[in-house]
Structures are given as structure tokens and as C-alpha cells.
Amino acid sequence: MTERRACRLANQPRGTQRYRAIRREDEDALTQAIIQLASQYGRYGYPRITALLQRAGWRVGKDRVERIWRREGLKVPQKQKPRGRLWLNDGSYVRLRPERRNHVWSYDFVSARTHDGRRVRLLNLIDEHTRKSLLVRAERRWSSEPGSPWENGYCESFNSKIRDEFLNGEIFYSVKELRVLAERWRVHYNTVRPHSSLGYRSPAPEAWLTKNMGHGEVETAMRFPCLHTPDGGYLNSEIAALH
């Protein structure tokens, strides 16, 4: 049976029958980049991986990344249940909504343990408007008032991220080591990690350029590998300067 007759009987255009998918030249390189990022940031889903790729210079959409993501059998982390706004304990009014930078700060505590089983508590302080992490401080002992909605706020979400993306994947042999690694993660959270609530931008990417090398939080940023662009270069000269 000829192709023409078969297509007529199947009511299918001959153009559809003859169509052959064209494999893009950058498919292999993009696949390797996605796998590398998924391995490096094991708790990121394909939307954040897409944002990192776009930031590194890839002209790629979320749908294409999702297709490769699923084809390669990469795990999509379970989506966190969104949290609503909280009321004060007496139910009198809704807490203050952040309108600008440094307008509302929130703090909360999260627990961790060193390798010997001893408990450590981390104090987390964030800017609710910019989502910037202002402080992550580890101590053996902290004194705090129990569960106040005014204090917790956005830190509830931040705590789940620091536990999922940092604490659960590390072994700490001392409080000092925990402090160093926590500061490194905080710099990454502020300057590299894409945030869905900010349109997959980072809260404070300008921190790369406003700090002097060898001082403060940017010193720890040197531990993070650069994202590679499609041509094998670095994301930009400023990031490359950190290495």
C-alpha cells in the first residue's frame, strides 16, 4: 500500500506522516548542564534550575527544561504547602505587612545536632520584603519566648528551606563548623538561589559587588562553584572573580 493511500485511509496529512523531529544542536550540552545543576542542588525543582540556566546565558524555557528533566528521570521535590498570613495571639488584627526593605524583620529558631548528638539551635533573621537572610547564628543555648505568630511569620518558610537544603545534608563536628557552613549557605541563599516569590531572582545579588573580597560574607562565597554558560565560560566576570 502506498503512503498516499495509507494516509488517506487513516485521515492523516502526509506532512504529519513525514515529519521527523529535529534534535537541537545544544540538546546534549543542555542535558548535561541540567543534570549537573540537579546534582549540585538536589532539592531544587526544574523551575529553579531553569532560572539558574537562564542566568548563566541559556536561552531556554521552563517547558523544555521540564521535558529533559522528566526524560532523565530527575526527581521533582515535593511542593511545600503555602502558608497563610498569621494573626496575633489575641486575634485582634493581622500582623504588619512588609512594604519596603527593612520595614519588617522576622526571627525564629530551628534545631540541629552535631555528630555527637548534642543539640544546637540556630537563630534565623530575615527581611520579609526582600526575603534576604540577615543572620543565621548557631549556639548551644538560646532563650526565647514560646511560639509567637508575630515573631515567626516568613521564618516558618525559611526554616523549612534551611533544613531541607542545608541541615539535612551535612554532618557537623562542632558548633564552629556549623557557623561557618551556615554562613556559606546564607550567602548562597541571598546571592545565587532563585526565589519563586521574587520571580526566580535572588534577594541580594548585588552583594557580590558591594563587599570587599576577603571580608565578611563574600569570603565564604568562594566555596561555591560558578554556573557554566553554554559556551563553557563563567556566568560573568564578577562571579568569576570569586574563584
Residue 225 lies in a domain: no
pLDDT grade for 65, boundaries at 50, 70 and 90: very high
Domain boundary among 172, 193, 214: 193
Q: CA 233, 238, 240 angle in degrees (round to 5)? A: 40
Question: For the segment 195-238, what is each residue's pLDDT rounded down to a tens digit?
Answer: 887 788 888 755 444 444 343 343 333 333 344 455 554 344 33
* One domain for residues 123 and 69: no
pLDDT grade for 91, boundaries at 50, 70 and 90: very low
What is the span of the domain harbouring residue 160? 105-193
> Domain tally for the chain?
2
* One domain for residues 186 and 112: yes
> Edge-to-edge strands of the sheet including 133-139?
105-113, 119-127, 133-139
Question: For the segment 184-194, what is each residue's pLDDT rounded down to a tens digit?
Answer: 999 999 888 88
Question: For the segment 5-45, what is each residue's pLDDT rounded down to a tens digit?
Answer: 888 888 888 888 777 766 677 888 999 999 999 888 888 88
Residue 6 lies in a domain: no
* One domain for residues 187 and 110: yes
Q: Tell me the DSSP string of 37-54.
A: HHHHSTT--HHHHHHHHH
In angstroms, rounded to a whole number, what is the distance separating the alpha carbons of residues 93 and 82? 21
* One domain for residues 111 and 188: yes
Domain boundary among 63, 79, 95: 79
Residue 12 lies in a domain: no
Residue 199 lies in a domain: no
Residue 74 lies in a domain: yes
